[in-house]
């Protein structure tokens, strides 16, 4: 009788171990992973995931939009507009550091065309802009580093910062050249894949070495 009880106890222990190994342990791991992902999301460490989540959410919500049913002021309209604005604000904040994420998160043009101007204004637009490209050089002497920025000034006095996810144009600081640029417009930023998206229309005007325009960044 005692031997039979021991076998039963061992059998129950074996079942418990199997249950824990295949049911509870994986669930515990998934909760820990979700918590880690959530912390990264809140801290903004995982910009790619956040950009993807916002884009998918906006895509699915926009696909349900109907002009006849969802008028300005309705709950659905306001939620969709707020979502579009939240996504735009986030993409704008990461564009300088992660321009490739803007390109990877691009919504189909049909989605932008489907929505009214009150909402589509917050969605990136694939466009071609003509203007004068200017290269500015920046120095951080304290950290012994430097960087360049590219600005496109249009005839209508608009200025866009050009952000390249790939190779940037090889131009000297102070260079001004008339160009045509194809990219994604997000606010006052124009995100391009690489230098091949820039078409030079006229020969560049390069500043002389002694008058080269440099801007020093002094950190206080």
Give tens-digit pLDDT for 134-177: 988 777 777 777 668 899 999 999 999 999 999 888 777 778 88
**pLDDT grade for 84, boundaries at 50, 70 and 90:** very high
The residue-averaged pLDDT of 33-56 equals: 66
What percentage of the chain carries pLDDT values higher than 70? 72
3-state helix, strand, coil in the chain (%, to 5): 45, 25, 30
How many structural domains does the chain have? 2
What is the residue range of 178's domain?
125-216
Is 50 inside a domain boundary? yes
145 and 206 housed in the same domain: yes
111 and 188 housed in the same domain: no
88 and 164 housed in the same domain: no
152 and 203 housed in the same domain: yes
Distance CA 38, CA 61 (A): 22
pLDDT digits 0-9 by tens, 114-141: 999 999 999 999 999 999 999 887 777 7
Report the predicted TM-score, pTM, of the whole model to 2 decimal places. 0.68
Is 115 inside a domain boundary? yes
132 and 77 housed in the same domain: no
Which tokens in the block code for residue 152? 């496109």
Chosen domain end from 120, 148, 175: 120
Distance CA 141, CA 135 (A): 19
């Amino acid at each position: 009788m005692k031997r039979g009880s021991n076998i039963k106890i061992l059998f129950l222990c074996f079942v418990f171990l199997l249950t824990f190994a295949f049911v509870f342990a994986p669930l515990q791991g998934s909760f820990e992973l979700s918590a880690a992902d959530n912390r990264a999301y809140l801290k903004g460490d995982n910009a790619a995931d956040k950009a993807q989540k916002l884009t998918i959410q906006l895509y699915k919500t926009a696909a349900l939009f109907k002009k006849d049913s969802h008028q300005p002021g309705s709950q659905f309209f306001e939620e969709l507009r707020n979502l579009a604005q939240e996504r735009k604000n986030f993409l704008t904040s990461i564009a300088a550091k992660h321009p490739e994420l803007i390109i990877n998160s691009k919504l189909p043009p049909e989605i932008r065309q489907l929505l009214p101007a009150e909402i589509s204004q917050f969605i990136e637009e694939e466009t071609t802009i003509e203007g004068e490209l200017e290269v500015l050089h920046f120095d951080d002497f304290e950290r012994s580093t430097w960087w360049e920025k590219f600005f496109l000034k249009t005839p209508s006095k608009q200025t866009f910062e050009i952000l390249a996810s790939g190779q940037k144009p090889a131009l000297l600081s102070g260079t001004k050249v008339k160009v045509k640029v194809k990219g994604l417009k997000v606010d006052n930023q124009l995100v391009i894949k690489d230098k091949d998206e820039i078409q030079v229309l006229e020969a560049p005007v390069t500043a002389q070495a002694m008058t080269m325009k440099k801007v020093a960044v002094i950190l206080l």
